[in-house]
Every structure is written in C-alpha cells, then in structure tokens.
Structure 1
Amino acid sequence: MVKVNRVALIGTGFVGSSYAFALLNQGITEELVLIDLNEAKAEGDAMDLNHGLPFSPSRTKIWYGSYNDCSQADLVVITAGASQKPGETRLDLVEKNTKIFKGIVEQIMASGFDGIFLVATNPVDILTYAVWKFSGLPKERVIGSGTILDTARFRFLLGEYFDVDTRNVHAYIIGEHGDTELPVWSHADIAGTKISDWSKNKQDYKPEDLDNIFVNVRDAAYHIIERKGATYYGIAMGLVRLTKAILQDENSVLTVSAYLGGEYGQKDIYIGVPAVVNHSGIRQVVELDLNVEEKQKFTNSVNVLKQTMGPVFSKY
C-alpha cells in the first residue's frame, strides 16, 4: 500500500477555510479531510474546494469527515474554538477554549491518531500546552503557530521601511503570541548586516521608527479585527508554511510555540521561539543569545502565560 500524506483540519471557520484554500493552491498534501461541528459548512467547503481541483498544482483528495478520519492523519491542524472579539485579548479566550479543546483532543486520540498536532486557536501558547496535556503525545509532536505570523509581520514592516524584499529580512518576534511578545533586535539583520547599520544609512531615520514598527506588529490583530472582524489570511499562510516544513521534512527554522524544558532558563511552558521543524515535529529549540533587556522581557512573557494558565489547568 502506497503511503500518502493526510491532513485533518478541525474547524472550518475563517482561519480553517483560508488554510484549506491556501493548502490546495500549493499542492502540499495528498489528502485533506475537513471536520467541523457544522457539518453542512464542512461539506460545503469540501465541495467548493473540489471544484477548484482542475486549477490546482497537484491532485488532492478532499472530503468532509469525522474524528475517525484522524486515525490515519499525519497532521491534525486545529483552528476550531471561540474567536477573538473586538476589545478582547487573546488571553481572555483561555477558559472557554481550553474546555472546547479537551473534548476535541479526546475524540481525536480515541480515533487512534499518532501523528503531529498543529494548533492555531488563541491563546495559542496555552492551548498548545493543553493539547500536549490532553493528548499524552511527546512534546515534540505538539506544535503551536506561536509567533510565526508576528515574525512575518515584523519582517514585512522592516522590509517596507528599508525598501528591501521582506524575504531577505531576518528578524524574530518571540514570547507569547500576544501583548507581551518582544522583538529580538540583537539578532535582527538584512543580508547579514545589522538593522542598526541599515538605520545609519537611511537619511530620514529616527530611533522611534523602529519602536513604532514593533508596536504595529504587536497590535496588528487589533487593527485588523476593528476593520474586518477577524484575521485569517496571514495565519492561514503561516500554517501552510508549517505544514510544508513538516510533511516535506525540511528542517526549517520557524518561530513556533514549542515546549521549553530548560531552554532560555524556562520550564513547563509552550511559548514562541525559533525551532527546527521537520517530519518528526520539533527537532530542537534554537536558543538565541538574548541581551539583558530581551531576557527580562521574555521572562515577563513566560510569567504572564503561567499566571493565566494556573487557575485553568488546576481544574484538569
């Protein structure tokens, strides 16, 4: 029997359906099963996507299904859950989504699933930890989308500011995917040249410009939610990038929500850090040499997540 890659998508809302569309357009997986409480929505999405197959780069089998279909999945992507409302922080969602996730993960594991989990629902760091706890899988095989989108936003805005292709900007946002995240300026560069040196050569440069870039990265979701109600295209493409790294065994370095077991001086937490991602999940966490200020901000981010998690996980 020929082995094919199967992705099971849990949740066909804005993020889930955008992910499925982007995944089909890049032809990354041979099988895609859509699972949602709203079966009619999942069935409609499967029909709609199948009608685009004549235009896709490769053949993909797409159908709507049930948790039983997760048994043969290489990757389960979870985008289901309550979404962030205007004026609401990602951490406000923690209690209701943790409860939803317990039910979802139990049904997935009951199918016999033994692959990799990829979590995108907010608050993503805490919910990735929840999936790890509820599933019993090794920490390497439970991954959150982490700060992959924040890092992409950061690189885009830096590229725009310095008039350089965003793909040639190398810079990371780490920490909580949320209000306590931080930019790693000490390791930010364009083509191997530090951002500080690029700044010297920009005629109208002002130090506060870089601060404003980070603020716009951190608060981007709020601005988008105010305008269109939700963010989904960017994160969907980030999830596809992660899917490709996993299914194609790329050993790519991506800023995901990974479990720390002593790295960065922290333990028993999922949080956004650069990590090497391949077909086994997270091969290793990349431990950046942070400066004193960055270490303090990262520790604060960890503490905020742990304080939020504590009361919730004491119930399970």
Structure 2
Amino acid sequence: MAQARTSTVAVVGAGAVGATLAYALLMQGAAHRVVLYDVNRAKVEAEALDLAHGIQFMPPAQIVGSDDIEACRDADVVVITAGAKQKPGQSRLDLAASTVGLMRTLVPQLTAVAPDAVYLMVTNPVDIVTHAALTISGLPPQRLFGSGTVLDTSRLRYLIARKTGVAASNVHAYVVGEHGDSELVLWSSAMIGAVPLLDWSSTHAPLLDETAREDIAAEVVTAAYRIIEGKGATNYAIALAAVRIIQAVLRAENRILSVSTLLSDYVGISDVCLSVPTVVGANGAQEQLLPPLTRAEQAGLRDSAESIRAVARQLGL
C-alpha cells in the first residue's frame, strides 16, 4: 500500500464553506498545517486568527491565513471552495461560466506553487468545475477530482438510517451521477448491514417500499435548496464530507467514496466528470468501481452524464 502523505492542506476560499472546512480539519486533527487562502486579506486573516485563538482546544496544528498564493506552496492537498457569486437573475449556466472563468486564472497559479498536490474541487457546479480544472491544469484525473456526491450519499444514508432505526454507519448505499438535480440512488446494490435494502421491507415492517424510496430520493435532491432557503448556504456537512475525502488521501485509507472523476467508457460513458463509487487513497482517486446496475440505473446514469455534458459543451469543454 502507498505511504501516507504528510499533512499540509491549503483551502482556497475563506467563505462559509472554506472557513468551516478549515475549522473541521483542525477539530478532527486531519492536518498538521492548514492554510486558508483568499483574495480578501482582511477576511482571511480574521478567519485564521479566530481559528488560531482556539488552537489549544484542538489537536496540535498550525493555521495560516493569507492573500498571497505563496502560502499554498508545496501543499499536499489543495481544496478549492472559491467560486463566482451568483447575481440576482443569473442562470446556473451563467454562474458556471463565471466560475470556470475564475478557474482559468486560479488553477494555473495554484499548480505553479503546489505542482505535486492532490486537488479536490468543492466549488459548484462541481462536476463542471472539475472538468474545467482538469482541462486547464493538465493534471491526471487521479490527482484532480471533485467532492461529487459524497455529501448526497451522506444525506441518503442519514435518511435511510432515520427511517429504519439503524446506525447510519451500517447503511451502505450510494448516490451517483451529477451533484445536482439529475443524480440518482443505486437502490439495487444498497445494503443495510448484511441485508439487501430491497429485501428490507419483506423482512421488517414495510418501511422501505417503493413510495418510501421515492420520497427519500426526492429529499436527497432537494435538501440543499431547503438549507439555502433557510440560512443562505450549506457549509457544515460539505465541510465534513471534504474532511473525510482529505483524510482518505493523507492517511492512504483506500476508502470508497462517490467522488466526481473523469469517466472513460464507464457503462458507455466517457469524457465527462460525474460521481461513481471510487477508491480514494494516497494517490488520489485511484479506481472507479462498477457495482451491479439495473437497466434503469444505467439509463439514469447516462441521462445524468448527458445533462452535465450539455452544460460543458456550452462552455466549450
């Protein structure tokens, strides 16, 4: 097994997600050194100072806040949370175009100072941003990938656990495809402990019949909208999801996570970034796994890929 990496993580963007991610990294002792980078000097220095004042209550670590890209030099993992801000009336496509434009400036600056890092893209729309960053950077897909549906999968497992009364850690199920409206749940391969999820309703109370599964899937898709409507942004769960991905890299865990990677002839899908179960370890996104898929699931995954590809095509990717 590959050796574990050292632990310097650069978080790009000191907004709600970036600052929360820095906090989560420090609280979990995931990195010995966390660099928070943002072009807003006052904001990034204040966030870092606030975190530094709590260092004695966390595992030993160093926090650095800077508006100088040099602070990211030789980072082992670079996480990009920065993105264009959505303007009133701006479409999702326009927002994607603005964010991709930002990546054309930001990514070359980062790869110049951290050429050997593993890059994790968190900025939305994450599948498009990941594809753009790969094209801009020229990095191999193993070393640059997106957080994808790791958060959506966590939401799914939480909802199944709540419905069945078992621990979320004993629910094994994945959301795949776009991190967005066209994502889908792989119900056919889902397990609760050692029991296939589709058999659960025949061996227990009718908790996970087709209607219940449809409701759960719909709630997973709409969860972000509900949170954004109430508080303006999602930040806690995505930060924790990103920490889990980062730990898989730094600790060479070879953990299976539904990250967004560039596919090549995956059930006939190529040249698009979307999420499938993937082994994540010291070298990044190492191997895409192919669980048994029903015809409907294969069709849903292809439809999701085409949804992403249509946007990428309009952006010239």
Shared fold per TM-score greater than 0.5:
yes
Measure the CA separation in 2 of the matches of 1:132 and 1:246: 18
Matched, 1:273 2:276: yes
Segments of 5+ residues of structure 1 without an aligned counterpart are none
Equivalent residue letter for 1:269: V
Measure the CA separation in 1 of the matches of 2:205 and 2:135: 52
* RMSD after superposition: 1.8
| 1:246 and 1:277 in contact (8 A); partners too | yes
Secondary structure in 1 matching 2:272: strand
Of the candidates 211, 223, 228, which is equivalent to residue 231 of structure 2? 228
Of the candidates 11, 31, 34, which is equivalent to residue 32 of structure 1? 34
**1:250 is matched with which residue?**
253
| 1:162 and 1:202 in contact (8 A); partners too | no
Per-residue CA deviations over 1:89-108 (Å, capped at 9, x if unaligned) read 86553111101111110211
Q: CA deviation at 1:36?
A: 0.5
Normalised TM-score (structure 1): 0.94
Q: CA deviation at 1:155?
A: 0.3
Query: Which of 214-223 and 259-268 deviates more?
Result: 259-268
| 2:12 and 2:36 in contact (8 A); partners too | yes
**2:117 is matched with which residue?**
115
Per-residue CA deviations over 1:157-180 (Å, capped at 9, x if unaligned) read 000001111110000000000000
**1:63 is matched with which residue?**
64
Matched, 1:178 2:169: no
Segments of 5+ residues of structure 2 without an aligned counterpart are none
**1:189 is matched with which residue?**
191
Matched, 1:290 2:293: yes
| 1:90 and 1:122 in contact (8 A); partners too | no
Normalised TM-score (structure 2): 0.94
Equivalent residue letter for 1:120: V
Measure the CA separation in 1 of the matches of 2:283 and 2:211: 42
Written as runs of structure 1 = structure 2, the 5 A alignment for 1:1-316 is 4-57=6-59, 59-65=60-66, 66-83=68-85, 93-203=95-205, 205=207, 206-313=209-316
Q: CA deviation at 1:204?
A: 5.0
| 1:78 and 1:121 in contact (8 A); partners too | yes
Measure the CA separation in 2 of the matches of 1:146 and 1:213: 19
Per-residue CA deviations over 1:45-85 (Å, capped at 9, x if unaligned) read 1111111111112x111111321232211111000013568
Q: CA deviation at 1:110?
A: 2.6
Measure the CA separation in 1 of the matches of 2:58 and 2:276: 33
**TM-aligned CA distance change 1:229 to 1:306, over 3 Å:** same
Measure the CA separation in 1 of the matches of 2:224 and 2:89: 11
| 2:272 and 2:309 in contact (8 A); partners too | yes
**TM-aligned CA distance change 1:90 to 1:203, over 3 Å:** farther
Q: CA deviation at 1:135?
A: 1.0
Per-residue CA deviations over 1:6-25 (Å, capped at 9, x if unaligned) read 11110010111111111100
Pairs aligned (count): 311
Equivalent residue letter for 1:240: V
| 2:253 and 2:281 in contact (8 A); partners too | yes
Q: CA deviation at 1:31?
A: 1.0
Secondary structure in 1 matching 2:258: strand
Report sequence identity in percent: 41
Measure the CA separation in 2 of the matches of 1:217 and 1:85: 26
